[in-house]
Structure 1
């Protein structure tokens, strides 16, 4: 049996008379077109919505926005690749009505409408809320590191600069010593020629001046680290190593794993992100109360206190960071607190009573101790302090005790965190290939992330409802 044969390239083919016939009724580009047309771009803050009366005609912001939404939905983000899509992709041709803007026009649109692009993402979130796609009861908050346009070699800390300058100084000293030794011995033939040594020393001097300039720049900035390509990016721990990038925070609703709120920061850890993200999620969902679950990296008493004041009930497992545990000694968890009597009871049965209150690192702290440590039989297993064991307690630590009881009573809520939070990040980074930024600067990457989040949510909603229902919702 012969193989399948294609049509001859010289054959005359009758294409459909209109471009619209190539686009099926359930093609996502039809919703993109209807969604953008339903937006008031001028209210959202887009530039050049009203055409100028003079000068060369400009592209409508709606057309360029449609192109970007289509591109991010299909993993095409760079302006040059989007330019090519408008020239060869039937869906892009239909969406832009065969307009072919150049890559600079496309890139400038994204750069000039940073805040407006974030508003478009919020508009789609509102649409999801109107379609009752959010449960509004539980969100999972998590963070992930996204790569910046900045290599690790162009990120500096004081310690990294100190080591680099020290290494250069040692090399220069060694090369100079070799030159002096050659001069003293009057050698004409050596392993490394004198002129080559001088060339290497000159190169080291140039590097030394560069590092000294970076060091001075870092000191003037007052920041703990400095990135040369993207000044807002930071070196952050990620997985088994470090990356130079940004910390992307998301709050994911438990009903359909849709992202209800997101933020991009350059803070290295997640510790101070709980309350801001919980508040954003609560506002986006429009609810009075909300439950939020996170991992141990968000465990912070003041953040928990702020959440409770905002009507958000956090579920965070307590991390084990006690130094005494590493030493094989009793930890604070081995002591029982009596809230009514305001005292701790140690494993040996002694009572540690309140002694004094102070403020440490901005936290109101209470100290508890007992004289029984002097004659305690298990003192060697409890403390190495000559003055006996002391227990510190944050003034509002009862909030953390209550949260520990909630976590213990509802382990299923904490168990949902990974399934909810990791799904969007995995889809965005692996399936969509958008685990890195193309733009530089915190304001720009925030706009870029808004397009990515919108594309992720749109993919989910298209699978849940389908194109016809979505078009009907914005009609």
Structure 2
């Protein structure tokens, strides 16, 4: 019969650990530790402490920065989990010198880091520039929309919240009546207690909504329309993403083209990115100017951004500030001859009876200026006008006799019960003699071979950064509330990305990191 060495878990072993030897050269933690100890000016943290003569000694900001950034690099954002790792994980013990900060200390440090994190981020940028990792030749702007610690069910306008209040008041009245009837009937104690808790919960929610309405007015967007507020985090926004509708923030970054260093980053509680290009580019200018690296870093550089940032105002801004920008519009791919055969690779469209007919479903002949609807009826030309952007448009309308008895009314009209006819506007191109707008010049510029090449570089510059942060570093959602804290968390993750670049390229660029 085979014999095996005996073993027992009921024993202890003392293991000597040298913290210095745990931090191996060339690793992320070694790069992080050296940066904080030798390169980052930690004097910016002095102002937050008032214990020169009285009070207990505070945890060193260097220790807190190391454990927080290393935790973020491993996808850990919970302050309780970070505190646990400082007690149980040898690498965290080594980085914190076994000081084991409490989770409340870590949470408070992150929550109040909004001022100092900008200075730390810029110090790391200086190191990146000294090592030659910032080329300043091409910058790509992009963003990622992530959910935050807020409930989208508690989003709405003032009118929506007033309806919620009325609904909850009716529910409370109904429960109170049932509670009284149950008392009179002598119902069992557990049922009465459960109803009482329901009433207390609804009343607390009522007070919460009422208090919110007293403190906040409706938010108004740039177009003058009322935006939805959020009860749990009013700085956040409801956003449409490829994964559905979320309540969260848009983390935007400006990335340098040489080694994908994030040179400027901000989080915004905005559903659309139209208004974010200008503050991001101005922030990039300010960062390089205040670091003494360049008076106008965008002068002579290429700036590329996707269609989410394309507006007439943004294109005009690039034109007025003499920035060599490449902003794609929503039809950029359709005009690209390389994508002419793209449609044949897509699955055959399914005939959706709920989908309304679009203008492209109407057969339009630009020579004879005639239009045939999906039902085969000819529409009459109602007029022609020139748009402010210089494009000509022709308006077609259906005849009442045709539209009234048409079997396709439900697919052609949004409100077939009250709309009589269908109207379609089709475009003929630019009006002769009209001056070319900034947007038209941008389209002509980006449609050239050089323009397509410059814009295609954006994909290789910006997208891997967000893949690294969201996939490798596991930022799936923002775990905090409020714009100030979310912006701090986004900067911390961008800082982790830049430190990873220093770990990889620092030595090869002429200086050990």
The equivalent of 1:253 in structure 2 is 256
Corresponding residue of 1:179: none
- Tell me, yes or no, if the aligned pair for 1:292 and 1:313 is still in contact at 8 Å: yes
- Report the alpha carbon displacement of residue 230 of structure 1 after superposing the two structures with TM: 1.8
CA distance in 2, matches of 1:203, 1:48: 40
Larger displacement relative to structure 2 (31-40 or 288-297): 31-40
Instruction: Report the alpha carbon displacement of residue 452 of structure 1 after superposing the two structures with TM.
Output: 0.5
Displacement after TM superposition at 1:293 (Å): 1.6
Shift of 1:167: 7.1
Deviation at 1:449, TM superposition (A): 1.0
Work out whether residues 428 and 434 of structure 1, in 8 Å CA contact, stay in contact via their aligned partners in 2: yes
Cα root mean square deviation, aligned: 4.9
TM superposition score normalised by structure 1: 0.71
Corresponding residue for 1:344? none
Tell whether the 8 Å contact from 2:40 to 2:120 is kept in structure 1 after alignment.
Answer: no
Residue matched to 2:68: 68
For residue 303 of structure 1, the aligned residue among 296, 300, 314 is: 314
Structure 2 unpaired stretches of 5+: 176-191, 221-226, 289-293, 333-356, 370-383, 399-421
Q: 1:403 aligns with which of 442, 457, 473?
A: 442
- CA deviation after TM superposition for structure 1 residue 250, in Å: 1.3
Q: CA deviation at 1:265?
A: 0.9
1:325: Cα distance to partner?
4.5
Report the counterpart of residue 239 of structure 1 in structure 2.
242
From 272, 279, 290, the counterpart of 2:275? 272
Alignment of 1:220 with 2:223, yes or no, is no
1:357 alignment counterpart = none
SS in structure 1 opposite 2:259? coil
1:450 aligns with 2:450: no
Is the contact made by 2:212 and 2:231 (CA closer than 8 Å) also made in structure 1? no
What residue ranges of structure 1 are gaps of 5+ in the alignment? 176-194, 336-350, 355-364
Aligned equivalent of 1:112:
112
Please report the TM-score for the alignment, with normalisation by the length of structure 2. 0.67
CA distance in 2, matches of 1:389, 1:458: 52
**Once the two structures are superposed, what CA deviation does each residue of 1:220-251 show, in whole Å capped at 9, x if it has no partner?**
34452222222211111111421000111112
**Residues 212/91 of structure 1: CA separation in 2 closer, same or farther (3 Å cut):** closer
- Contact 1:158-1:215 within 8 A present in 2 as well: no
Per-residue Cα deviation, 1:109-166 (whole angstroms, up to 9, x for no partner)? 2223321012211221222122111232222211211221112222223575477578
Per-residue CA deviation, residues 186-208 of structure 1 (Å, 9 max, x unaligned), is: xxxxxxxxx9xx99x98999699
Q: Secondary structure at the match of 2:143?
A: strand
CA distance in 2, matches of 1:260, 1:464: 16
SS of equivalent to 2:121: helix
Higher deviation after alignment, 437-446 or 152-161 = 152-161
Q: Shift of the alpha carbon at 1:367?
A: 7.2
How much has 1:209 moved relative to structure 2? 5.2
Q: Which moved more, 1:202-211 or 1:292-301?
A: 202-211
Alpha-carbon distance, 1:427 to partner:
2.0
Pairing partner for 2:301 from 274, 283, 290: 290
The DSSP-based 3-state class of the residue aligned with 2:29 is helix
- In structure 1, distance between residues paired with 2:12 and 2:392: 94
Measure, in 2, the Cα distance between the counterparts of 1:91 and 1:67. Answer: 9
How far apart are the structure 2 equivalents of 1:252 and 1:431? 18
Q: CA, structure 1 residues 248+385, in 2 after alignment: closer, same or farther (shift >3 Å)?
A: closer
Q: Match of 1:32?
A: 32
Indicate the SS of the match to 2:438.
helix
Q: Distance in 1 between matches of 2:474 and 2:317?
A: 35
CA positional deviation for 1:168: 7.4
What is the rounded CA distance, in whole Å, between the counterparts of 1:125 and 1:4 in structure 2? 58
Matched, 1:430 2:471: yes
**Deviation of the 1:254 alpha carbon:** 2.3
- In structure 2, do the counterparts of structure 1 residues 163 and 67 end up closer, same or farther at CA, with 3 Å as the change threshold? same
